[in-house]
Amino acid sequence: MRQYDIAVIGGGPAGYIAAISGAQMGASVILFEKSVLGGTCLNRGCIPTKTYLKGAEIIHHIRMSERYGIVSNTEYSMDMKKAVGNKNAVVKQLTQGVGALLRSNGVEVVYGDACLAAAESGCERAKQVSGLKVVVCGGQEYVAHNVLLCGGSKAGRIPIPGIDHENVLTSDEILDLEQLPKRLGIIGGGVIGCEIGAAFSAYGCEVTIIEEQERILPQMDVEISESLRETFQRDGIRVLTSSRVRSIKHASGECVLVCENDDRITVDKILLSIGRTADLSCLGAFKEQIALERGYVHTDEFLQTSIPGIYAPGDINGKSMLAHAAFKMGEAAAKNAMGERISCDLCHIPGCIYTLPECAGVGLTQEQARRQMGADQILVGRFPFAANGRALACGAGTGFVKVIVGRTYQELLGVHIFGGMATEMIAEAASLMAAEVLADEIGEMIHAHPTFSEAFMEACADATGQSMHLPKSNRSPCRSGH
């Protein structure tokens, strides 16, 4: 029986990057994947939804084409079979690419359900050699000095009467629909609900989003949430906040969502998008021994679990359930398994929502900064895309860039963007925050003109009262955080 330096359970973003990182350090690595490489992100999340949202963006451009003098008498319609086929082709190319990366780095890949097993389960080598861990896959035992639990997450569920029905879908299933429902009800106004709602609304579906909290995208800055809600309502998406679904009734192919305030919403399909929970099936024989916290695997700053030699990067630990955070955690966990002591810093992880317009944020929201520092200790700078030449030329004048700055040292505490190219622009903000570049320094940096990114520079300049492209009456050297 071969002995490995690292065994990775799960081939999602955390898992495959961990495997490659370990292999590049000279480790012998084996990776177990129960279905398809790439995890939720590539197969059922980030990438599939972005292909659908690209379709929604194209429809948006078709609708505004006459503004640019493009006149066409051709009608368009939505072919969901082709949309699904395109999505599947993109996913296939990317997942095959992950497989090629693993092969080129010498990572052995085994397909099947894998989980931890006790050394006493029958593996003589693990009994004889102190520190070896056992992984079981398809009845076969494998031993390794270190195991990385990269089981990822699964769609969350809530106990609502009537929820277990074929017309109630999670994000795993709705992206395979080959027929567009006329009416779609979405339970949950977080990232997944808003993105899928935006796509299906553009495709021609009547969309209703039901969110139990006071606002959609509750993790984002309040101005972002409010701006997106206004856009949704303008585009015909019905948004109900502070509303909870009590039950779901099914009859004659229709679904009726019964809410606590007695609202009754009739739809054809329902998307349950209340977030994701850790998939703990990979814990196996150690499910009672590995410490959990709020339903996630508890890890220290080095991503090690309560059992030495067992690490848990990615969604399974609940620290940041984003693919780019999982990449970073997977790399750090592999290095730590090989003897390094790397603390995984997740302070400047950007969050992106690919609606139309897009939303993005990094660092503290204005509300968080107020609570932590006090309103009189922060400055707020804003710049509207309505004053940005590139945005106006592209018909994307809706939205703004907002920066939160420390009053004393002018450090950048948070950046929040609502508008075109927001998900691309946020990378500059996150990079400069990580490099500890000050807001007044950013305000003096030359940005190409005309670009969307000028708005970020101008917002930083506005926070310190130096913006050249805002009317003087709108500028102030002491923009209060109140």
Q: Annotated catalytic sites, by residue?
A: 449
The three-class DSSP label of residue 270 is strand
Q: How far is CA 41 from the centre of its chain?
A: 8
Q: What is the signed CA dihedral for 351, 355, 359, 360, rounded to 10 degrees? A: 30
Question: In the chain, what are the helix, strand and coil shares in percent, each to the nearest 5?
Answer: 35, 25, 40
Question: What backbone phi and psi angles, to 5 degrees, belong to 324?
Answer: -70, -30
How is residue 332 written in tokens?
A: 């750090």
Amino acid at 295: G
Residue 196 one-letter amino acid: I
Among the listed residues 129, 75, 64, the one whose alpha carbon sits nearest the alpha carbon of residue 394: 64
| Cβ within 8 Å of residue 211, ≥6 positions away | 188, 189, 190, 193, 218, 239, 240, 241, 242, 243
**Which ranges constitute the DSSP H helices of 105-190?**
124-128, 171-174
- Cα–Cα distance measured from residue 66 to residue 70, given in angstroms and rounded to the nearest whole number: 5
Residue-by-residue DSSP string for 173-228: HHTT-SS--SEEEEE--SHHHHHHHHHHHHHT-EEEEEESSSSSSTTS-HHHHHHH
C-alpha–C-alpha distance, residues 431 and 399, integer Å: 22
d(CA 380, CA 407): 9
d(CA 227, CA 402): 13
CB within 8 Å of 125: residues ≥ 6 apart:
1, 3, 132, 143
Return the amino acid letter for 407: R
Distance (Å, whole) CA 462 – CA 227: 21
Rounded distance between C-alpha atoms, residue 85 and residue 52, angstroms: 11
Spatial distance between the Cα atoms of 404 and 416, rounded to a whole number of angstroms: 9
CA distance 144 to 110: 14
CA-based nearest residue to 111, from 202, 190, 37: 37
